[in-house]
Structure 1
Amino acid sequence: MDAPGFDTVQLIALAGALGWASGLRVYAVLFAAGAAAWLGWIELPQGLSLLEHPLMLGASGLMLAVEFLADKVPGLDTLWDGLQTFVRIPAGAALAAGVFGYDQGTVTAVAAVLGAALAASSHAAKASTRAAVNTSPEPFSNWGLSLAEDGLSLGALWLSLANPVLFLGLLGLAVLGSLLLVWWLARFLRFVFQRLRGRSVADARGA
């Protein structure tokens, strides 16, 4: 594998972190990983060397700023999440595959599939949570969730490098938690929509 200085567990943890965190904050992940490598703080596998190119840093930094602002506005954050479905999941697949190098055949393919699945799980949990929170008119919960997602995505990347075994254990719990959260929020949102529809019908009859 073309990742000198990394053992197998470290590679798996890094691939998992990049995939999972991409579902929350793909541009923050791209910029943070690239900037850290460019500054010499970390060494990335060769398959991810593009992240530290100045043009890539400029593009990911710009999109990071756009997402940071869009994600703080109730309503706009849900629209943004919907659009980013087509970015976060493929990016999670590509980044996880890049950890192992794109010439590794089956290993790369498996990493891409798992990276996409991890990105999808965290993205679904994030989007569902935001949709539920947006049923409340106040913006503060959105801001708090957004900042928490910033911290989780960057924290996952750091922990995968600092303590890959611990990270993998927590990643398993996070995926399970995401699935349970999506299931519960789907039931909550269905209940809210049913109540709103019932009120609309009642209002129409009253009129």
Structure 2
Amino acid sequence: METAASLPIVEVLGIAASASLLSGWRLYLVVLATGLAMRSGMVPLPDHLQSLQALASPWVIGIAAIGTLAEFFADKVPWLDSAWDAVHTLVRPVGGALLALAIVDPGEPAWQIVAFLLGGGGALLAHGGKAGARAAINTSPEPVSNIAASTAEDVATVGLLWLIYEYPWAAAGVAALLLALTVALLLAIRRLMRRMFGPRSPRAEDAQP
């Protein structure tokens, strides 16, 4: 496991970016998983991330656990998940920005500013992609796809957190993958919205009786 002194800034920023993007999906789960990992040592974190020790507070873990439990069930009920996402439009980006700020060494104020800005922006993008995709899924009358998408987000969040904390060198790649997925979701949602609400072609209008 790498030490704080040997952890390159690229890996640090990769961890910050990945955690922020995942916060756009599951902020409470990210905080809970990180806090439990810090407290129990079950998942060895890089020494550099000892700055996140505050997340290991029983109070923080308890509140994050309540939020995680509430989100777990709310996110699997069609349209309730969209309402939950709407309420967290500000919460997730702020949480992602603060997580990124905590991950970067306080002795590097310039990088902290970069991490804070990019962390908030990344969490907002991920939140937008997730919320838009779930709203699109909710147009389907059957609940299975909603539950499947929510469960996939839960599993992916925990698995990717373990990956970036256990193997910091892979964090930049994980962040790039998450960003690409987020952009792809946003573009797909944009195309869907244009098809649903865009101007109808004259040929389509002429075909109507």
CA distance in 1, matches of 2:110, 2:58: 31
1:83 aligns with 2:84: no
How far 1:193 moved relative to its partner? 4.4
- With 81-90 and 154-163 compared, the bigger mean Cα shift is at 154-163
Which residues of 2 match residues 159-174 of structure 1 at below 5 A?
A: 159-174=163-178
> In the alignment, residue 171 of structure 2 is paired with which amino acid?
F
Q: May I ask how many residue pairs the two structures share in their alignment?
A: 193
Which residues of 2 match residues 188-207 of structure 1 at below 5 A?
A: 188-193=192-197
Contact 2:164 2:174 in 1 (8 A): no
Deviations 1:101-158 (A, max 9, x none): 4453211111111111221221111111101101101111010000111112112211
How far 1:21 moved relative to its partner? 0.7
Percent identical among aligned pairs is 35
Q: Give the aligned partner of residue 14 of structure 1.
A: 15
**Residue 150 of structure 2, aligned match among 127, 134, 146:** 146
Q: Give the aligned partner of residue 71 of structure 1.
A: 75
Tell me the TM-score normalised to structure 2 length: 0.84
Deviations 1:1-59 (A, max 9, x none): xx736602442232122111100000000000001111123346233111000011100
Q: Give the aligned partner of residue 115 of structure 1.
A: 119
CA distance in 2, matches of 1:174, 1:29: 15
> In the alignment, residue 139 of structure 2 is paired with which amino acid?
T
CA distance in 1, matches of 2:195, 2:135: 13
Gaps in structure 1 of 5+ consecutive residues? 196-207
Compared CA separation, residues 65 and 6, structure 1 to 2 (3 A): farther
Contact 2:15 2:171 in 1 (8 A): no
CA distance in 2, matches of 1:190, 1:142: 22
Q: Give the aligned partner of residue 204 of structure 1.
A: none
Q: Matched residue of 1:85: which SS?
A: coil
Gaps in structure 2 of 5+ consecutive residues? 200-209
Q: Give the aligned partner of residue 185 of structure 2.
A: 181
